[in-house]
Amino acid sequence: MSGTEEGTLVAQWRDLVTCYNKVACDLDRELQDQHGLGMSEFEVLDRLIESGQEKVRMHELAEGMYLSQSAFSRTVARLERAGLVSRAMCMDDRRALFVTATEAGRARHTDARDTHRKVLAHHLG
Amino acid sequence: MSGTEEGTLVAQWRDLVTCYNKVACDLDRELQDQHGLGMSEFEVLDRLIESGQEKVRMHELAEGMYLSQSAFSRTVARLERAGLVSRAMCMDDRRALFVTATEAGRARHTDARDTHRKVLAHHLG
DNA sequence: GGACATTTAATGCTTGTGCAATTGATGCGT
DNA sequence: ACGCATCAATTGCACAAGCATTAAATGTCC
């Protein structure tokens, strides 16, 4: 573990954090201002619709997401409160829930998608 | 703007977020558990001591950090409450404040530095 | 079949963060 | 010298996130 290795490691980490925060803040602001969606809310909606499936189980949808279980649960709850998503019981396993995008949810996603991609392209392109 | 470009852009962003969250969470937990420091608190302390200067002005220290002004202000306040840092008035410009690491602050930093580097090396190395 | 561990999702609680507004000090133009 | 914009830092507020706990359903082992 040489000093220079440490130095580049820290520098690398700082770049990562800075980059992340810039993009995340911008994304959050744009999505919120233009579409009333938080970054995580869009992310969930995006993954749900992108899956191609009508219904997706909570646990399956949460898989691969950066959020904690509780944060994810609340994000979906927010989406449901906003009428963009609906939750339905799963008969096969009554612990699980199915999440489905509503018409409003699909419409909102279509709108917001452009903003999302634009911000990403601006920062990462 | 082709579909594949969009796809890799989103994938790139998701990778970035996932990586950031994994490292940040781990870092936060390790620093908190082993040294009673949050990630941002360590970051401020690290930059302060790394500067080599005895006193650094708040605004100068905040420069290049990922935190908002208010978050930064509160982070320094937390460090001060913990006795790791002290704030002193700047006579040249009475709006500004000087931040100085205390002995306890330097000691804590020395301890935590290893943990910090270790976590970074584990994830980024 | 009954006891116990595991899984799925939600909730109480605390905390760190950003935004907007505020306070106090400095600089600048007239 | 006065008024006004600007700058430095803090504070009120709302909110999203993580941790730990909980509740209900399922699985497993005997």
The beta-strand segments (E) located in chain B are 56-57, 85-89, 97-101
Distance D12 C1' – A50 CA (angstroms): 40
Which helix (H) or strand (E) element contains residue A98?
A: strand A97-101
A40-73 pLDDT, tens digit each:
999 999 999 999 999 999 999 999 999 999 999 9
Read off the pLDDT of each residue in B117-125 and give the average, rounded to a whole number. Answer: 93
Residues of chain A positioned with their CB less than 8 A from the CB of B13: 23, 120, 124
For the cut 70, the answer to whether the pLDDT of residue A2 exceeds it is no
* Confidence band, pLDDT 50/70/90 cuts, at residue B7: confident
Task: Give chain B's radius of gyration (CA, Å).
Answer: 17
A77-123 pLDDT, tens digit each:
999 999 999 999 999 999 999 999 999 999 999 999 999 999 999 99
Write the burial class of residue B43 (CB in 10 Å: 0-12 exposed, 13-18 middle, 19+ buried): buried
B79-115 pLDDT, tens digit each:
999 999 999 999 999 999 999 999 999 999 999 999 9
What single DSSP character describes residue B95?
T
The full DSSP string for A4-16 is HHHHHHHHHHHHH
What gap in Å lies between CA A70 and CA A97, rounded to an integer? 15
Domain ranges of chain B: 3-124
CATH architecture of A3-124: Orthogonal Bundle (1.10)
Nucleotide with smallest C1' distance to residue B43 CA: C16
Residues of chain A positioned with their CB less than 8 A from the CB of B17: 20, 24, 66
Query: How far B60 CA sits from the closest chain A CA (Å)?
Result: 17
* Confidence band, pLDDT 50/70/90 cuts, at residue B5: low
- Whether residue A124 lies within 8 A of chain B, CB to CB, comes out as yes
Query: How far A117 CA sits from the closest chain B CA (Å)?
Result: 7
What gap in Å lies between CA B79 and CA B59, rounded to an integer? 16
The per-residue pLDDT for B55 is: 96
- Whether residue A8 lies within 8 A of chain B, CB to CB, comes out as no
Residue B100's nearest CA partner among B37, B45, B59 is B45
For the cut 70, the answer to whether the pLDDT of residue A3 exceeds it is no
| Residue predicted with more confidence, B5 or B72 | B72
Q: How confident is the prediction for chain B on average, in pLDDT?
A: 94
Q: Enumerate the nucleotides of strand C whose atoms come under 7 Å of any protein CB.
A: 7-12, 15-21, 24-27
